[in-house]
Amino acid sequence: MDVGNADIYNNMGLIYKELGQYDKAVEEFMKTVFLDPNYAKAYNNIGVVCYIQKKYRGAIQNYRKAIDINNNNLDALNNLAIAYKALNQMEKAKVVLKQALKSDPEHPGTNYNMAVIFRPRGIFGRLFTITGASWCWGRILI
């Protein structure tokens, strides 16, 4: 194994995460960022593990690190919005999803998350104005 290859440690972390071995997963993701501090996927993956463990503030911290490295990181932006939702910080979730939509207005995951986050709060009908997209209804409801 090439011990200097950050991708290998990130992939090992993903395997441990899937096996439910979260401490080992984080350990591998940390090896990844030690080798490459700008490896945004590893920070996002640490955030995912924190989220699974209901450590929402830790998840937010790591998603933000991933976004600091790449502010168009749609995975981290969407995950950050969902973590804000878990803490009932809906306005922050809205701001983050709007940022994601600026990067890619047709991204299915972002549009889905807009619907999931805002439908229970009775503001589903306002999605049309939040996204500014005239095709929004058809994409979300299909």
Written as six digits, the tokens of 121 are: 């709060």
Asked whether the predicted pLDDT for residue 142 surpasses 80, the reply is no
In this prediction, residues 74-90 reach a mean pLDDT of 96
Whole-angstrom Cα distance, residue 60 to residue 83? 6
Report the range of poorest mean pLDDT among 25-29, 57-61, 65-69, 105-109: 105-109
Tell me if the domain spanning 6-141 has CATH number 1.10.260.40.
Answer: no
pLDDT tens, 105-122?
999 999 998 888 777 555
Among 97, 35, 135, 67, CA closest to 12? 35
Asked whether the predicted pLDDT for residue 130 surpasses 70, the reply is no
Helices 40-52 & 6-18, crossing angle to 10 degrees?
20
pTM of the predicted structure, to 2 decimals = 0.81
Locate the domains of the chain by residue range. Answer: 6-141
Measure the CA angle with vertex 75, ends 72 and 76; round to 5°: 75
Asked whether the predicted pLDDT for residue 128 surpasses 70, the reply is no
Q: What percent of the chain has pLDDT over 90?
A: 74
